[in-house]
Structure 1
Amino acid sequence: MRLLTRFCSSFPQQTTSVGARRGGINTHNTNRHYNSLNASSSSAADQVPVLDPSSLSPSLTRGIHVFNCPDEVGIVAKLSECIASKGGNILAAEIFVPHKKQTFYQRSEFIFNPANWPRAQMDEDFLKISTRFKAVRSVVRVPDLDPIHKIVVLASKQDHCLVDLLHGWQDGKLPVDIKCVISNHERGPNTHIMRFLERHGIPYHHLGTTKDDKREEGILNLVQDTDFLVLARYMQVLSANFLKAYGKDVINIHHGLLPSFKGGNPSKQAFEAGVKLIGATAHFVTKELDEGPIIEQMVDTVSHRDNLLTYVQKSQNLEKQCLAKAIKSYCQLRVLPYEQNRTVVF
């Protein structure tokens, strides 16, 4: 799955309620849970409650489906019918129809009984709908049944993002399997990072780089059996040849609101520029330095009372949070390509 993304909160967009699109009418209503479509708006007590997955029968499991196709009447009806006909129930759905673009995006979460709807049959059923509507993208994921995403983390000397990812993985907060860590910086055997990796059986590969040799062939040999890569403050530029040879997505974290303060030491650049609003941007890596489509952005404020040390500390906290959220969004199919370098982020 190749997803390129752009932060899209400012897109002019047309959002449709499920009921309206079933009838073929585009409206500007906000996204609503399927469970609340027939609920009275007279009081909160009258609303049909949204199902809590934690209260579901052990025989039920959760599925996620994302769909992108040319817009036309009846898409939501067919998708809903497909799930309902197998005894499934939609928990939530989000729809995006760009203004004057005639293209349709939907992300839905549903519950189903795998005994009644085998995983392979589910793929076949959604494929039929994909063919019917000439879909650009139709992806299904069942977190409890499908293999967990396998990643490799690349890092340099700075540890803050790497440490945060490792602890998030250890605590079960990141839905990934870290196959190894690759770094162009050598770490001693008694450092916190190395002790953690050794304790959990995660290999560490030191591939020292030079100006003329970025060790990309060695990196490629180590990342073949992965779903995507994460650059946790890896301070080397991956070439266009590497990205083409790898052929899958690479997520990077960058201080600031791109494209400002590119390249090395962005915190110092921003501090010396006197900025008062700092940020962090998680984006996909492309051949253009720090200009890849954006997945997630976070901001914080600084004042004249901050020095370079507190400035960097605030920036690093943003970077850790932003990168972790971007990885979760990617694994949960919340990121869909939109036009050449933008995305829908549900």
Structure 2
Amino acid sequence: MSLLRRFSPQVQLFTKRSFKSLKFPGESLNEITSPSLIHGIHVFHCPDVVGIVAKLAECIASRGGNILSADVFVPEKKNVFYSRSEFVFDPAKWTRIQMDEDFLKLSKMFDAMRSVVRVPSLDPKYKIAVLASNQDHCLVDLLHVWQDGKLPVQITAIIRGPNTHVMRFLERHRIPYHFLPTTIEDKREEEILNLVRDTDFLVLARYMQVLSGNFLSSYGKDIINIHHGLLPSFKGGNPSKQAFDYGVKLIGATTHFVTEELDTGPIIEQMVFVPMLGDAFNLYYN
């Protein structure tokens, strides 16, 4: 199966297979979920071979689980397979320990580079730190989603530039705040590393510094960036203005993993929308 999607003359996504949030016919979370069923998530990364999706589905179904959605991505000419599956299951029939054993067998079967299973209602919350710069909108949106209970993580620290009104929110929720103004010459990476060593991953919410290769290797865990534009085009600062000047009629945002090269890491998720007149005005003049 081949899929080519074009967002603009400059924005192109090429995949061999890409099922975006595939919902299975007749199934919805409200229809399937009962008081005895709980929610699980499985992320898989392995060499691409025939039969991976079938085995993943068989693993879940054989224990009475039911898949709600599945994202599958195989990059062109790279021979690697990525998937993210959401499912419901009865913990009385499929214990958490047995689940780990079952997915471990799959991991060994396909020589997986990564296999992660999460049950948010049972597993400890991931510890994260958020790095931000002057503008607050990405950070504020993330904090509001967290406050509403839609982001099941423990925020251990906010590390950002100039002090703003966000501090009141952080104080109210007892989230540690660290004021570390940075420059191109002094990114204060050693200080940041000391603050985040106990986290499971980092989130860059419009953080306007490029992290060095030394920082990435020293931290050694995932770092996710929220980029306010559609990658792979319009990288770096002010991507919305870049898109506007190019004549692109669709704007959006991208979350991706951070690598040494600016805005080139694997894409996790993208959102696209058509700007209204007021949005276009703000893109150009602000």
Shorter-chain TM-score: which interval?
Answer: 0.7 to 0.9
Residue 207 of structure 2 is aligned to residue 238 of structure 1: no
What residue number does 1:300 align with? 274
What residue number does 1:287 align with? 260
TM-aligned CA distance change 1:274 to 1:310, over 3 Å: same
What are the Cα deviations for residues 275-311 of structure 1, in whole angstroms up to 9, with x where unaligned? 453443333322222333333253534669954x464
Separation in 2, partners of 1:122, 1:199: 38
TM-score, normalisation: structure 1: 0.66
> Residue 248 of structure 1 aligns to which amino acid in structure 2?
K
Count of residues in correspondence between the two structures = 274
Match of 1:13 among 13, 16, 38: 16
TM-aligned CA distance change 1:243 to 1:58, over 3 Å: same
Separation in 1, partners of 2:176, 2:257: 25
TM-aligned CA distance change 1:145 to 1:266, over 3 Å: same
TM-aligned CA distance change 1:183 to 1:78, over 3 Å: closer
Separation in 1, partners of 2:184, 2:115: 42
TM-score, normalisation: structure 2: 0.77
Match of 1:208 among 156, 181, 185: 181
CA contact (8 A) 2:23 2:68 kept: no
2:13 is paired with a residue whose SS is: coil
Q: How far off is 1:176 after superposition?
A: 2.5
What residue number does 1:113 align with? 90
Q: How far off is 1:9 after superposition?
A: 7.6
Specify the structure having the higher radius of gyration (Cα): 1
Match of 1:167 among 136, 141, 144: 144
Q: Which runs of structure 2 are paired with 1:110-189 in the superposition (5 Å)?
A: 110-187=87-164
> Residue 274 of structure 2 aligns to which amino acid in structure 1?
D
More strand by share: 2
Instruction: Provide the alpha-carbon RMSD of the alignment.
Output: 3.6
Segments of 5+ residues of structure 1 without an aligned counterpart are 1-6, 17-29, 37-48, 314-346
CA contact (8 A) 2:184 2:209 kept: no
What are the Cα deviations for residues 303-336 of structure 1, in whole angstroms up to 9, with x where unaligned? 69954x46467xxxxxxxxxxxxxxxxxxxxxxx
Q: Which runs of structure 2 are paired with 1:179-328 in the superposition (5 Å)?
A: 179-187=156-164, 191=165, 193-258=166-231, 262-266=235-239, 273=245, 275-277=247-249, 278-295=251-268, 296-301=270-275, 307=281, 309=282, 311=284
Moved more, 117-126 or 172-181: 172-181
Relative contact order: is structure 1 or structure 2 higher (C-alpha 8 Å, sep ≥ 6)?
1
CA contact (8 A) 2:127 2:153 kept: yes
Match of 2:39 among 62, 78, 89: 62
> Residue 167 of structure 1 aligns to which amino acid in structure 2?
H
Q: How far off is 1:182 after superposition?
A: 0.6
Separation in 2, partners of 1:238, 1:99: 28
